[in-house]
Structure 1
């Protein structure tokens, strides 16, 4: 029997892909406890992803404002910032590894167990970052330890994004797939808000001198407490109903990653292109803007962090609005026009910041917080709907983590290099406009490739492998 992806062409519930109706993972299976269990799972995925992104963004903020002095003091300010952003990028390079490992076991043994381990890894990595000595104490080994712990963070987060989206989406009631898949997406701005609030509060209580010297460690050490709370919440959820059905029907496959790639290169590559700009724009906005605004434009550090935090709060609050619209009216048109809006705002973003006018800076930053969620809110459900349920963790991880490294991980470093080479933000604007144009073209091509009324991917058949869970 073939191990490729089977398509059920006359399924009685064949969905309209892009309308928000059940698209993947076969017919919806109600979870134990119905809507209450689904809601509890959605909140658990939101709490878990928020805590993981808190750790991840805490590092990004510290890399932009602190780590160049503490871990690369012998370098020039620009070179030190580049080096700090390089360690930030290392976490993205490690994310595909985490996605591969956690994706494999998430499709073999279940979503819940892998999500618990991923949260533990992120918490341990962040806590230890708060404890490592700086360059002045142990020299060369300080940045080495920083990079090693950043790898641990990256592996942990690499297993989180796909698993949390799947867990919430597979528990969703019929007709609310996009809404429930959006809860883990809310963890990204939620984690940023939490990280910046803790960062600002600690800095305000201690003053700049003490905070730069040692106070920056406190937000990292706080991760231990936050992750403990997250684990209590996450351990209370039940396994995904869709994956439980895979186990019951013995549809587990031995190499889920290999089977997920049978979707085909055209669709995989176009899906990747469609989501890569969102990652790049978000990380330039959330991370690069802090160093650029303080070092080159003279904005106050606290002013920029507050603006980015408020923008992230808007991002967080508007995701349920956009996912509800996607469930009701369809996500395709919303995603395309959202991509156009992101492109347009990227063209205007740095020129507004460069004026040095605080009012225009607020408008630029808050505008990002309102526009980014239009596409970000549904990118998880778009990716998940590409794969059959028994290989969806692996397949979704490949797309998410590849997009993260190509877009987000390299964006602050590329932007810093372009700024240094050109002496102005013009190169950064062209870079963002270019990647947004590529993503917009990818989204349009993807939606043309996949018909509006698409067949339902059935689980990859593997009856002879069902007993092997390793």
Structure 2
């Protein structure tokens, strides 16, 4: 049985506080990924025609996916700004701000006139709103991870930190569920005219719920102790780059393959299934819906498993599998004949299971690479910088490679290369150091006690 790790000088949170932290972490990242998944799906299905009209459908799709990439390219700005603030002013304040920013940008996308109404201004404003989404997301993930891992037992960090990792499949499930429902209820012309907007406008409900949860939550014990002991970093970004470059490189590389694999099996697969396999939009969305539903349970299970086995070895094995699976998936679907939908669904599920075995433990793995006082900044920088070379360009590259070579082999080779980079990152990283965490909290407790004694 897992032994509880007590923080000297700090009270262990009651179960209700820990559960609220888990829900607060999950709801924020679920909203983040609901917004991103709605954008991703509509970029694949309708944005090319509505905001980037062209005589060549491939050109329209490429332009739509380029705005998808903007959301990743702007993440480092959010990581730099909000990551630093998270280590300076606190986790809770930053997480409330990022939630409002992401939600507002998504609502405005739902209200944005299309190219036919306002001309070139439509794609320009769309890009700006997508940029704002990315900035908010860049500061969200690191704080969401720490929200639960700093309340919970360090020896169960894989499970508690997985709350932030459950957000993507929950958000993706909600987004594709809403889009699939709209696709069933509405005709093609109705969906293109106004139906897609409903999915964006519904994010307002999620924002309200997320804010209600987060505003009721206390600041994490670790940050409160840092604040009381006056040990908050003054220049956390500089400290990460100068004192922990290996941790940053390892964390960045470890994130690349999961991002690319997720982009394949939740974003690009919609275009591949509809344009190259001849399936309907609803059928393609259903496969993603099933896979995302399973990931809701797989993420915390993978996080908990990583607490019981070596986290790095689990991550490493999944990264190797990520490089191999596409070479099985594409021929399997192509040869399926009348059972093609079933084989597509099976392929997506296996791909997302492999992804979960990396992504579930990922939050804990990355947090453990950095010293406790720099974890918000370090985790945020790793998350956002990896997104630029991983998830940002993946749908664009998949589309360009398939459009150029008209075969699946370059797509599989691309995923294999990213898997090799992630293997290198995991090997470069370190295992959890629970003694470091214990000593950090003890030193904060001593400093806090000395501060109180001198008053």
What is residue 389 of structure 1 aligned with on the other side?
A: 372
What is residue 80 of structure 1 aligned with on the other side?
A: 60
Call closer, same or farther: CA 1:195–1:451 in 2, change over 3 Å. closer
SS at match of 1:175: helix
Q: Deviation digits for residues 414-462 of structure 1, max 9, x if unmatched?
A: 1111111111121111101111122113312334xx698885585999x
Distance in structure 1 (CA, Å) of the matches to 2:80 and 2:332: 40
Whether 1:346 aligns to 2:329 is no
Q: Where do residues 219-238 of structure 1 align in structure 2 (5 Å cutoff)?
A: 219-238=199-218
Distance in structure 2 (CA, Å) of the matches to 1:39 and 1:29: 22
Q: Deviation digits for residues 347-383 of structure 1, max 9, x if unmatched?
A: 2222223335222212101112222110101111111
What is residue 92 of structure 1 aligned with on the other side?
A: 72
Distance in structure 2 (CA, Å) of the matches to 1:187 and 1:247: 29
Which of 380, 396, 407 matches 1:413? 396
> How many equivalent pairs are there?
441
Q: Which runs of 5+ in 2 are unaligned?
A: none
Distance in structure 1 (CA, Å) of the matches to 2:268 and 2:9: 43
Distance in structure 2 (CA, Å) of the matches to 1:21 and 1:398: 32
The CA RMSD over aligned residues, in Å, is: 2.4
- CA shift for structure 1 position 214: 1.6
**Is the Cα contact below 8 Å between 1:100 and 1:394 reproduced in 2?**
yes
What is residue 350 of structure 2 aligned with on the other side?
A: 367
Which of 162, 187, 198 matches 2:178? 198
What is residue 40 of structure 2 aligned with on the other side?
A: 60
Distance in structure 2 (CA, Å) of the matches to 1:145 and 1:423: 33
- CA shift for structure 1 position 391: 1.9
Whether 1:318 aligns to 2:301 is no
Distance in structure 1 (CA, Å) of the matches to 2:308 and 2:409: 39
Call closer, same or farther: CA 1:396–1:371 in 2, change over 3 Å. same
Q: Deviation digits for residues 300-335 of structure 1, max 9, x if unmatched?
A: 211110111110111111112111221123312211
What is residue 165 of structure 2 aligned with on the other side?
A: 185
SS at match of 2:74: helix
Q: Where do residues 33-432 of structure 1 align in structure 2 (5 Å cutoff)?
A: 33-355=13-335, 357-432=340-415
- CA shift for structure 1 position 139: 0.9
SS at match of 2:111: coil
Distance in structure 1 (CA, Å) of the matches to 2:216 and 2:242: 35
Distance in structure 2 (CA, Å) of the matches to 1:283 and 1:94: 17
What is residue 4 of structure 1 aligned with on the other side?
A: none
Call closer, same or farther: CA 1:441–1:230 in 2, change over 3 Å. same
Moved more, 160-169 or 268-277: 268-277
Distance in structure 1 (CA, Å) of the matches to 2:381 and 2:353: 28
Call closer, same or farther: CA 1:243–1:360 in 2, change over 3 Å. same
Distance in structure 2 (CA, Å) of the matches to 1:21 and 1:324: 14
**Is the Cα contact below 8 Å between 2:106 and 2:203 reproduced in 1?**
yes
Q: Which runs of 5+ in 1 are unaligned?
A: 1-19
Moved more, 319-328 or 119-128: 319-328
Distance in structure 2 (CA, Å) of the matches to 1:446 and 1:199: 39
Distance in structure 2 (CA, Å) of the matches to 1:304 and 1:174: 40
Distance in structure 1 (CA, Å) of the matches to 2:24 and 2:240: 27
Distance in structure 2 (CA, Å) of the matches to 1:94 and 1:139: 24
TM-score with structure 2 setting the length: 0.91
Moved more, 283-292 or 354-363: 354-363
Distance in structure 2 (CA, Å) of the matches to 1:395 and 1:133: 39
SS at match of 2:122: helix
Distance in structure 1 (CA, Å) of the matches to 2:187 and 2:202: 19
- CA shift for structure 1 position 56: 1.1
